[in-house]
Amino acid sequence: MIMKRYSILVCEDEKPLLLAVQAKLEKSGFDVVTARSVDQALDYLRDGVKIDVIWLDHYLLGAANGLDLVSQLKAASSPWKNIPIFVVSNTASDDKVRSYLTFGVTSYFTKADYRLDQIIADIKNYLPKKLV
Amino acid sequence: MKIRSKINLRYTISFIFIISLVGLFVGIFTTASIKSRIYSYLYANNRARAEHVRTFIEDQKSTALILAAASVYRDFMLEPITSDQYPAIKEKIDKRLIRTLETDSNLFEALIIDMSGKTVASSDPTQVGNDESRDDYFIKGKEGVFFKDVYFMEPNHKISYALAAPIMGDDGEVLGVSVLRYVPDRLYTIVQGEKNLGNSEENFLINNNKFFITPSSFLGTSVILRQKIETKNANDCFDPREEEYVRKNGYAGLVQFTNDSQIVQSKDYRNVGIIGTHAYIPETSWCLISKVDSSELMAFRTRLIIIFLSMCVLAELLFLIVGWRISKVISRPILKLSEGAAIIEKGNLNYNIDIKTNDEIGQLGRSFNKMTATLKQTYSGIEKKVKEQTSAIIDQKSALEKQQAAILNILEDVEIEKNKAEYLASIVKSAEEAVIGKTKEGIITSWNQGAEKMYGYMADEISGKSIKIIAPPEKFEEIDHILHKVADGKRIEHFATIRKRKDGSLIDVSISVAPMKDSAGKIIGVSTIATDITKEKQIDKAKTEFVSLASHQLRTPLSAINWYAEMLLAGDAGKLNKEQKQYLQEVYNGNQRMVDLVNSLLNVSRIELGTFAVEPRPTNLVDIAKSLLNELASEIKEKKLTVKNNFDKTLPKINVDPKLMRMVIQNLLSNAVKYTPEKGKVNVDITKQKSDILIKVADTGYGIPKHQQDKIFTKLFRADNIREKDTEGTGLGLYIVKSVVEQSNGKIWFESEENKGTTFFVTIPLSGMKKKEGTKSLN
C-alpha cells in the first residue's frame, strides 16, 4: 500500500521558521509549498496548485495578515473553503483566536508552546488516510 | 408544703401501697403455681423414666428369647461331639455368638450352657468349660427367660447383669441355656437422662434390698451394690400394697390408691432436705427414685421474687419521674402567677405574666394582666402631667444658660477662625493640585489656580457651570455616580479617570472627592482635589507595552531555537553522537525555560494592563488537580515524594475560567514539588466549605524564611533560601496566582516555617468568577 503524499501550503514570514517547518514537513511525508505573504499564497491557489491543507501564521509580509487570507478562503463563494487551515502563531490573543475559529479554521497553536512534531502529528491525525 | 411536693408525695405513697399489695399476691400465687408445676413435672418425669426402664427390660428379655430360639442353637445342642459334623457346627455357633456381641455394645459375653451346667460355647473362648450349674441364670434360665439382677461378676468385680433363656428342641424339651451378659451403661443413661429441674435433680435405681444399682449424682459409681438407703421414698416404694397395685395396674390411679400426691418432702441419703418421688418397677423389683434439693427450688423462687421486686422499684422510679414532670407542668404556671403577682405588687406595672395555657390558670393569668394594664393607664396619666410641667421649667432654665455661654464663645472664636480661614484659603488657592468646590448637584462654586492650570478654564468663567464641562461625555455617568455617593456622605479617594481640558484634549487625573459639611454635620457641598497623572500613566503604559511587545518579539526567535533544536535532536539533520545530543538537550531545556519566563512576563503585563480575559464555565477543580498531578508524576517519582490527596467527592462544579484555575493550581503544585527535598511529603486537599472551595497544598519543603514572608507575593521576588538551592524559578508565579485569585474574589494565604514546610490556602467562592472581556488570555 502506498500512501498518497499530501500537499501543504505553509504561510510564514520569518525565514528561519519557514525553513524549519518546511524541512520537518517534508521529512514527515508532505509536499510543501511556501508563501511569505497573503498575495503569494493566493497566487499559488489561483494557479491551480492542488493544496490539501494550509499552515498559517498570523503576521505575514505586507499589509494583509493571516486573518485576511482566512476570510477570503472561507467565504461562501470560495472554491477553497473546504481546505483545512491550521493557524500556528505567537500572537495568541483571545479575540484573534476567536475570530479565526469563527471563520472556521481547524485548529490554533502557539508556536513557542508546541513542538513541530506535535503540530504535524495533529495535522496528520486530522487528514483522512487516503490511499492511491 | 408546695403543691408539687404534695401531689408527688400522695401519689408516691398510694403507688407504693398498691405495688406492695400486688407484689404480695403475685408472690403467693407464683410460689404456689411454681410448686405445683414442679411437683407435677417431678412426678411425670419419674413415671416416664420408670416406664422407659420397664420397656428396656422387656426388650432385652425378648431379645434373649429370640436368640435362644434360633435353629443354629438347637442344631448345635443336638449334635454329638463325636459326630463328623460337630466341628463345622461348632465353628458356625462361635461365629454366631461373636456376631451377636457386635449387635449391642453393652453386651460383653454370649454363651451357651449344656444341661450338665457346663459352658459349651462362648464368644469368649476362655470361658468354655466353666461350670455354671450352680449359677441362678442356669437354674432359672432352664425354666424360662430370666433376668439376673445387677451383680458383681467374678473374678474382676465388673458390675453387670445377665439375661438367660432356654434352648428348646422341637418337642419343647430343654436342650441348654443361652446367656447374655451385659454391662449396665445404657440402663444408667436411661435412668439418669437429662436434668430439667436444676443441678441437684437426681434419678437413680435401687434394688429390692435398697442398694444403689445406678450411680449417685453426688457419690458416683462406688455406691453401687455397696450403699443401702433408708429414706422415706425407698420405704414407701417397697410397701407391699403399692407393689401389688403397680404390678397389677401400672402407675395410673396410684395417687388415688395411696391417697397422697406421691410427692415426698423429706431428707435423702445425704441427710439433705429434698422433694422427691418414686416408682416401683415390678419386672425387676427395683425402685426408681427422682428428687431435687428443696434449697434449689427455694433459690428459684427467691430469684423470681428479686426480679419482681426490682421491676417494682423500676416502675416506681419511672412513676416518680413522670409524676415530677406532670406536677411541674401543673405547678409551673401557678408559680409564674404567684411570682408575677409579687413583682406587680412591688410596683412594676410593665410586667406581663406569661402563661399561654388555655385552662383555668391561663384565664387567671390573662385577667391578672388586664388588671395590671388598667392600673398602669391610671398611673401613667398622672405621672405624665407631672413630668411635662417639670421638664418645661428645666428646659427654659438651661436654654437661657446656653445662650449666654454661646454669645461669649462666638465673640472669642470669630477672631481666631477669621485668621485660620484666611490662612487655609491662601494655601488652597496657590496649590499645584486642582481644588474644586461644587454644590451637591455638581455646580462649580470655587476653582483654584491649580484647576485653572490643569483644565485651562479661569475661575470666573467656569463658576456656576456644571462640573460635566470638564469631562468627556462617556464619563458623565461616572460623575453622576460619584456625586450620588458623596451626597450619601461617602468619600472617594485616588480614583483614576479621564477629564477634558478647555481645548478638548484629554487628561489622566486621580481625583479625591469628599462631602463638605457645616458645623451641624449637614452636607452643603462637594470638594474635589484632582492630580494630573498623565506622566505616571504614560510611564506605566510604556513599561507594560514594552514588556508585552518584547515578549512577542522574543517568542519568534525562541520558537526558531526550539524547532531547530527539536529537529536536530530528532536526527533530522543526521545522527548525533551522545555528547552532541546532551549539549543540544541543554540548549532545548534552557530555551524552554526562556519560553516559560516570557509567558510569565506576558501574563504579568496583561494583569497590570488589565487586559486579561476571564471566561467562566462550569469547571471541576478536582479534575484539574488530578491532571496536573499526572503531569508532575515523573518529577514526583524522581524525587521520591509522597503525594496524598483528599478530594471532596461531592465537590460541585463551579463557574470559573478553567485556564486561570489551572494556572493557580499548577503554580501551587509545582512549587510544592520543586521546593520539597527528596523523600518529602506533599498533601493536596480540595474541599467544599460554607460559601467557597478551599484548595490546600501542604509540603514538607524548605519553607519561607520568617523575615521574607511578607514579600512572597511580590513580583520577581525569590526567597534567599531557595535561591541558594539549585532550583529554577522566575519569581512571577505567586504574583500571578495572587492577582488571579483576588480578581476572582478569592483569598490566598499561607503558613510556613523554614525547613519544616509550607502550606498554601486558596479559596474560590462557590459563586465562581465574573466574566471579563479582555484582549488577551493568560497563558
Question: Which SS3 state, helix, strand or coil, does residue B716 take?
Answer: coil
Higher pLDDT, B364 or B120: B120
pLDDT band at B405 (very low <50, low <70, confident <90, very high): confident
Partner B, chain A 18-47, Cβ-Cβ below 8 Å: 20-21, 23-24, 27
Lowest mean pLDDT among A118-122, B5-9, B580-584: B5-9
Residue found by looking up cell 472581556 in the block: B773
Q: Quick one: cell of B718? A: 525569590
- Among partner residues B567, B776, B777, which is closest to A20 by beta-carbon distance? B567
pLDDT band at B404 (very low <50, low <70, confident <90, very high): low
Query: Is the predicted pLDDT of residue B274 greater than 70, yes or no?
Result: yes
Q: Which residue of A has its CA nearest to B567?
A: A24
Q: Quick one: cell of B121? A: 460355647
This model's pTM is above 0.95 = no
A30-35 vs B273-281, strand pairing mode? unpaired
Q: What pLDDT score does A1 carry? A: 46
pLDDT band at B705 (very low <50, low <70, confident <90, very high): very high
Query: Is the predicted pLDDT of residue B700 greater than 80, yes or no?
Result: yes
Mean pLDDT of B30-57: 85
pLDDT band at A25 (very low <50, low <70, confident <90, very high): very high
Over residues B540-570, the pLDDT tens digits come to 777 777 777 777 778 888 999 999 999 999 9
Q: Which residue of A has its CA nearest to B614?
A: A94
Over residues B652-680, the pLDDT tens digits come to 899 998 888 999 999 999 999 999 999 99
Question: Which SS3 state, helix, strand or coil, does residue B584 take?
Answer: helix
Query: Is the predicted pLDDT of residue B636 greater than 70, yes or no?
Result: yes
Residues of B in CB contact (< 8 Å) with A are: 552, 555-556, 558-560, 562-564, 566-567, 570, 572, 595, 598-599, 613, 615, 774-777, 779
Q: What pLDDT score does B775 carry? A: 58
Q: What pLDDT score does B166 carry? A: 92
Q: What pLDDT score does B407 carry? A: 67
Contacts of residue B641, Cβ cutoff 8 Å, sequence gap at least 6: B673, B676, B678, B679, B680, B681, B682
Q: For B9-23, what is the HEC assignment? A: HHHHHHHHHHHHHHH
Query: Is the predicted pLDDT of residue B1 greater than 70, yes or no?
Result: no
C-alpha–C-alpha distance, residues B260 and B330, integer Å? 62
Q: What pLDDT score does B626 carry? A: 93
Query: Is the predicted pLDDT of residue A9 greater than 50, yes or no?
Result: yes
Q: How close B571 gets to chain A, by Cα (Å)?
A: 11
Query: Is the predicted pLDDT of residue B740 greater than 80, yes or no?
Result: yes
C-alpha–C-alpha distance, residues B574 and B577, integer Å? 10
Question: Which residue pairs, CB below 8 angstroms and at least 24 apart, start in B120-125?
Answer: B120/B176, B121/B76, B121/B90, B121/B93, B121/B94, B121/B97, B122/B97, B123/B94, B123/B97, B123/B98, B125/B94
Inter-chain contact B572–A115, Cβ cutoff 8 Å? no
Beta bridge partners of A130: none
- H/E element, B367: helix B360-430
Mean pLDDT of B421-428: 78
Residue of A25, A115, A117, A118 best to disrupt the B interface, most CBs of B under 10 A: A115
Chain B contacts of A18, Cβ < 8 Å? none
Lowest mean pLDDT among B57-61, B443-447, B542-546, B765-769: B542-546
- Inform me whether the C-beta atom of residue A124 falls under 8 Å from chain B C-beta atoms: no
Q: Quick one: cell of A49? A: 496548485
C-alpha–C-alpha distance, residues B527 and B436, integer Å? 6
Query: Is the predicted pLDDT of residue B306 greater than 90, yes or no?
Result: no
Q: Which residue of A has its CA nearest to B598?
A: A112
Residue of A113, A114, A118, A119 best to disrupt the B interface, most CBs of B under 10 A: A113
Chain A contacts of B572, Cβ < 8 Å? 23-24, 27
Over residues A86-111, the pLDDT tens digits come to 999 987 667 788 888 888 899 999 88
- Among partner residues B567, B777, B779, which is closest to A24 by beta-carbon distance? B567
Q: What pLDDT score does A132 carry? A: 38
Mean pLDDT of B420-443: 83
Mean pLDDT across chain B? 85
Q: Quick one: cell of B646? A: 483528599
Mean pLDDT across chain A? 88
Cα angle vertex A41, ends A38, A44, to 5°?
150
Mean pLDDT of B186-192: 89
Contacts of residue A65, Cβ cutoff 8 Å, sequence gap at least 6: A38, A58, A59
Chain A contacts of B774, Cβ < 8 Å? 94
Mean pLDDT of B577-601: 88
Chain A contacts of B551, Cβ < 8 Å? none
Inter-chain contact A23–B595, Cβ cutoff 8 Å? no
pLDDT band at B199 (very low <50, low <70, confident <90, very high): confident
Taking Cα atoms as reference points, which of A1, A9, A2 lies closest to residue A123? Answer: A9
- Among partner residues B567, B572, B776, which is closest to A93 by beta-carbon distance? B776
Mean pLDDT: which of B19-33, B384-398, B628-642 is highest?
A: B628-642
Lowest mean pLDDT among A3-17, B5-19, B157-171, B478-492: B5-19
Q: What ipTM goes with this model?
A: 0.86
Positive or negative: CA dihedral B528, B532, B536, B538:
positive
Q: What pLDDT score does A131 carry? A: 43
C-alpha–C-alpha distance, residues B747 and B764, integer Å? 7
Mean pLDDT: which of B91-95, B337-341, B610-614 is highest?
A: B91-95
Inter-chain contact B598–A112, Cβ cutoff 8 Å? yes
- For chains A and B, CB pairs below 8 A equal 60
Chain A contacts of B601, Cβ < 8 Å? none
Dihedral, CA of residue B626, residue B628, residue B633 and residue B636, to nearest 10: -110
B523-532 vs B617-619, strand pairing mode? unpaired
- Among partner residues B563, B598, B776, which is closest to A20 by beta-carbon distance? B563
